[in-house]
Structure 1
Amino acid sequence: MGNTTATAKNTTVRALVPVMAAFFVMGFVDLVGTATNYVKPEFNLSDSQANLFTSMVFFWFLIFSVPTGVLMNKIGRRRTVLISLIVTAVAMLLPVVAYTGAAGTPRLVLMIVSFSLLGIGNTLMQVPLNPLLTVFVNGDKLASTLTTGQFVKAFASFFAPLIAGWGASKLGAWWVLYVIYLIIGVIVGVALAPDKIDEPAPDAGQTSIVSCFKLLGNPIVLLCFLGIIAHVGIDVGINAQAPRILMEHTAVPLATAAGATSVYFAFRTIGTGLGGIVLQKMDNKTALRICGAIMVLSVACFAVFTTIASNPPQWLFYLAVALIGFGNANVFSLCLSHALNTLPSRQNEVSGLMMMGLIGGAVFPPIMGAAADAMGQAGSIIVVAVGAIYVLAIALAYDKAMEPAKK
Structure 2
Amino acid sequence: MKKQTSMLAVLPVLFGFFVMGFCDIVGISSDYAREAFGWSHTMAGFVPSMVFIWFLFFSIPVGIKMNAWGRKNTVMLSMAVTLVGMLIPLLKTDWACLVGYALLGIGNTILQVSLNPLLNNVVTDQKLLTSSLTAGQVVKAVSSFCGPFIMLFAVNVLGGGDKDNWYLAFPVLGAITLVSALWLYFTPIPHEKREDSGVTMGKVWGLLSDRTILLLFLGIFFVVGIDVATNFISSKVMIARFGWDTSDAGVAPQVYFICRTVGAFLGVFFMTKISEMKYFRINILAAIAAILVLAFYEDATVDLICVGGIGFFCSCIFSIIYSMAVQRMPEKANLISGLMITAVAGGGAVTPLIGAATDAAGITAGVCVLLICAFYLTFCAYGVKSTR
TM-score range, shorter chain: over 0.9
2:374 maps to a residue whose letter is A
CA distance in 2, matches of 1:66, 1:339: 15
1:154, distance to aligned residue in structure 2 (A): 1.1
AA partner of residue 393 (structure 1): F
Q: 1:69 aligns with which of 63, 68, 78?
A: 63
Query: Following the alignment from structure 1 to structure 2, what is the Cα–Cα distance between the partners of residues 326 and 283?
Result: 18
> For residues 33-89 of structure 1, what are the alpha-carbon distances to aligned partners after superposition, in whole Å with 9 as ceiling and x for unaligned?
222111101111111111111111111000000000001111111000000000001
Q: Does residue 244 of structure 1 match 2:227?
A: no
Query: 1:80 aligned to 2:74?
Result: yes
The number of residues matched between the two structures is 379
- Distance, in Å, in 2 between the alignment partners of 1:329 and 1:56 is 23
Which of 252, 255, 273 is the aligned partner of 2:247? 255
What one-letter code is carried by the residue in structure 1 that aligns with 2:300?
Q
Check conservation: 1:260, 1:321, Cα contact below 8 A. Answer: yes
Write the mapping of 1:199-238 to structure 2, written as runs, cut at 5 A: 199-204=191-196, 206-238=198-230
**1:350 pairs with 2:336:** yes
Correspondent of 2:132 among 112, 135, 145: 145
Q: Is the 8 A contact 1:29 1:119 kept in 2?
A: yes
* Equivalent residue in structure 2 for 1:127, among 113, 119, 132: 113
| 1:402 matched residue in structure 2 | 385
Give the unaligned 5+ runs of structure 1: 1-7, 100-106, 306-311
Shift of 1:313: 1.7
Residue 298 of structure 1 and its aligned partner are, at CA, apart by 1.0
Q: For the residues of structure 2 that align with 1:294 and 1:111, how far apart are their CA atoms?
A: 37
Please name the residue that 1:286 is paired with: 278
1:353-407 deviation per Cα after TM superposition (whole angstroms, max 9, x unaligned): 000000101110001111111111111122100111221222233xxx334x89x
Alpha-carbon distance in 1 for matches of 2:91, 2:32:
14
The answer to whether structure 1 residue 31 and structure 2 residue 25 are counterparts is yes
**Equivalent in the alignment of 1:373:** 359
Amino acid at match of 2:138: F
Question: Cα distance 1:262–1:381, how it changes in 2: closer, same or farther (>3 A)?
Answer: same
Q: Which secondary structure state, in structure 1, belongs to the residue aligned with residue 86 of structure 2? A: helix
Name the CA distance, whole Å, in 2 between partners of 1:36 and 1:133: 32
Output one character per residue of 1:219-260: Cα deviation in whole Å (capped at 9) or x when no partner. 111111111111111111111111111221112222211210
The TM-score normalised by the length of structure 2 is: 0.94
* Distance across 2 between alignment mates of 1:275 and 1:374: 38
Do 2:233 and 2:367's aligned partners in 1 also have CA atoms closer than 8 Å?
no
Q: Is the 8 A contact 2:291 2:370 kept in 1?
A: yes
Is this contact kept in 1: 2:64–2:197, CA < 8 A? Answer: no
| Equivalences for residues 306-317 of structure 1 within 5 A | 312-317=298-303
Structure 1: distance between partners of 2:35 and 2:325: 41
- CA–CA separation in structure 1 for the residues paired with 2:316 and 2:146: 19
Structure 2 counterpart of 1:189, from 169, 181, 198: 181
Show the counterpart of 1:386: 372
Q: Is the 8 A contact 1:234 1:384 kept in 2?
A: yes
Q: Is the 8 A contact 1:291 1:392 kept in 2?
A: no
Q: 1:204: Cα distance to partner?
A: 4.4
CA contact (8 A) 2:213 2:325 kept: yes
Q: Give the counterpart letter for 1:283 in structure 2.
A: S
How far off its partner does 1:205 sit?
Answer: 7.1
Aligned to 1:295: 287
Instruction: From the superposition, tell whether residues 286 and 163 of structure 1 become closer, same or farther in structure 2 (CA, over 3 Å).
Output: same
Looking at structure 2, the residues matched to 192 and 272 of structure 1 have their Cα atoms a distance apart, in angstroms, of: 24
Distance apart, 1:143 and its partner CA: 1.1
- The answer to whether the aligner puts 1:46 opposite 2:29 as a matched pair is no
Query: Any conservation in 2 of the 1:61–1:123 contact (CA below 8 Å)?
Result: yes
Unmatched runs of 5 consecutive residues or more in structure 2: none
Aligned positions of 1:148-159 closer than 5 A: 148-159=135-146
Structure label with greater radius of gyration: 1
Check conservation: 1:144, 1:276, Cα contact below 8 A. Answer: yes
What do the CA deviations read for 1:259-314 (whole angstroms, capped 9, x no partner)?
10111111011111112222233311111012201210111211222xxxxxx321
1:361 corresponds, among 341, 347, 355, to: 347
- Separation (CA, whole Å) in 1 of partners of 2:186 and 2:129: 25
Deviating beyond 4 angstroms after TM superposition, the runs of 4 or more aligned structure 1 residues are none
Whether the 8 Å CA contact 2:27–2:48 is kept in 1: the answer is yes
CA 1:374–1:327: 2 relative to 1, 3 Å? same
Q: Deviations over 1:97-125 (max 9, x none)?
A: 224xxxxxxx1111011011011000110
Report if the CA contact (8 A) 1:297-1:323 is conserved: no
Matched residue type, 1:199: H
Q: State the alpha-carbon separation in 2 of the partners of residues 29 and 303 from structure 1.
A: 25
**Residues 72 and 348, structure 1, Cα contact 8 Å, conserved in 2:** yes
Q: Deviations over 1:326-356 (max 9, x none)?
A: 1111111000000000000000000000000
Q: Which of 154, 176, 195 is the matching residue for 1:167?
A: 154
**Does structure 1 residue 325 correspond to structure 2 residue 317?**
no
